[in-house]
């Protein structure tokens, strides 16, 4: 059963503010100190942790706070791609001391590719600016991605409660979601892959290239292309579980309705998940 409470390690990163001007200087100082530690040890990074952000000034502080406390047994770097934000996202990035690059071509694929193009690590671990990451996330994902015959490792997520959804209701939703993810992992792992937690070799990603047509399912399509070269594996460890905000679930109304809608769709598709897909990749999420 997923946790019915938000873990303390997540809560410490949730700083409430209405404006960037409201963020205490000591918060920026704490985060900057963490990135100073990371940046001082990455002359030759083995892993690049790559985030993308577009107008995320309301969410990215918690993200950066968690990233500044990442630990890894191999040298790593943290890089944020600002996808032409028009709010104060870049100001927060600069004040936190994290490495960043600007990608002015608007679109998810362009932002992902921009990070991959400048990454110095042999492996690349994708993430999103609206998510919060546990300290052991890099090691858990890297350990799976380095296995023989594996071309990509992907993880699982939990949702942060909000004014409309309690953590308890999300726990029940995640119980269903995690069951579906594990069923897909047998033969259709590409349908599970999310940009918030996906690890792969940088070289292969550069060869394939992220889709830039601004059509849904870029990460799944990238995973589908990678799968031709090896296996995609699911990382189930709690040490790698990402916490994120929810946007899509709210479209389904009440949580009971959201669960019912998801359950109905997945029951109809369940047989498909037990057999490899033929032909081209089709987004089913």
Q: How confident is the model over 114-125, as pLDDT tens digits?
A: 999 999 999 999
In the predicted structure, residue 257 carries a pLDDT above the cut 90? no
In the predicted structure, residue 220 carries a pLDDT above the cut 80? yes
pLDDT computed for residue 1 by the predictor: 67
Tokens 């993810």 -> residue: 181
Supply angle C-alpha 130, 223, 178, rounded to 5. 60
- Section 9-20 average pLDDT: 96
Supply angle C-alpha 63, 151, 214, rounded to 5. 55
- Whole-angstrom distance, CA of residue 239 vs CA of residue 236: 9
pLDDT band for 284, please (50, 70, 90 cuts): very low
The structure tokens listed for 182 are 């594990």
pLDDT band for 61, please (50, 70, 90 cuts): very high
pLDDT band for 217, please (50, 70, 90 cuts): confident
Torsion of CA 210, 215, 218, 220, to 10 degrees: -140
- Section 91-100 average pLDDT: 98
- Whole-angstrom distance, CA of residue 193 vs CA of residue 107: 18
Closest CA to 7 of 124, 99, 132: 132
In the predicted structure, residue 270 carries a pLDDT above the cut 70? no
Bridge-based pairing of strands 123-128 and 47-53 is: parallel
For residue 198, give the 3-state DSSP assignment: strand
Tokens 């000034």 -> residue: 57
pLDDT band for 74, please (50, 70, 90 cuts): very high
Could you tell me what percent of the chain has a pLDDT over 70?
Answer: 86
- Section 135-150 average pLDDT: 98
pTM of the predicted protein model = 0.91
pLDDT computed for residue 123 by the predictor: 98
- Section 200-214 average pLDDT: 94
pLDDT computed for residue 285 by the predictor: 38
- Section 232-236 average pLDDT: 98
Q: Which residue has the higher pLDDT, 43 or 275?
A: 43
- Section 255-269 average pLDDT: 65
- Section 78-107 average pLDDT: 97
Q: How many CA atoms lie within 13 A of 84 on its CB side?
A: 10
**What domains appear along the chain, each with residue ranges and CATH number?**
8-273 (3.90.550.10)
State the average pLDDT for the chain: 90
- 149-192 pLDDT, tens digit per residue, is 999 999 999 999 988 888 998 998 899 899 999 989 998 999 99
- 124-133 pLDDT, tens digit per residue, is 999 999 999 9
For residue 196, give the 3-state DSSP assignment: coil
- Section 217-239 average pLDDT: 95
């Amino acid at each position: 059963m997923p946790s019915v409470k938000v873990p303390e390690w997540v809560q410490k990163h949730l700083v409430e503010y209405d404006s960037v001007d409201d963020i205490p200087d000591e918060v920026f100082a704490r985060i900057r100190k963490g990135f100073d530690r990371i940046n001082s040890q990455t002359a030759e990074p083995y892993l690049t942790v790559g985030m993308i952000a577009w107008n995320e000034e309301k969410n990215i502080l918690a993200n950066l706070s968690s990233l500044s406390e990442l630990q890894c047994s191999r040298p790593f770097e943290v890089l944020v791609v600002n996808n032409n934000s028009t709010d104060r996202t870049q100001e927060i990035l600069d004040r936190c001391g994290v490495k960043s690059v600007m990608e002015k071509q608007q679109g998810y694929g362009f932002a992902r590719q921009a990070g991959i193009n400048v990454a110095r690590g042999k492996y690349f671990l994708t993430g999103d600016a609206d998510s919060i990451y546990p300290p052991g996330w890099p090691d858990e994902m890297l350990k799976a991605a380095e296995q023989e015959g594996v071309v990509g490792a992907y993880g699982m997520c939990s949702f942060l409660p909000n004014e409309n959804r309690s953590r308890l209701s999300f726990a029940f939703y995640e119980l269903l979601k995690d069951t579906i993810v594990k069923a897909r992992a047998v033969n259709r792992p590409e349908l599970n892959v999310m940009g918030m937690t996906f690890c792969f070799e940088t070289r292969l990603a550069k060869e394939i290239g992220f889709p830039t047509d601004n059509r849904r399912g870029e990460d799944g399509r990238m995973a589908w292309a990678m799968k031709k070269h090896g296996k995609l594996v699911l990382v189930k460890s709690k040490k790698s579980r990402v916490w994120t905000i929810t946007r899509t679930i709210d479209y389904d109304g009440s949580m009971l309705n959201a669960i019912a809608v998801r359950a109905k769709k997945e029951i109809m598709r369940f047989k498909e998940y037990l057999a490899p897909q033929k032909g081209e990749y089709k987004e089913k999420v």
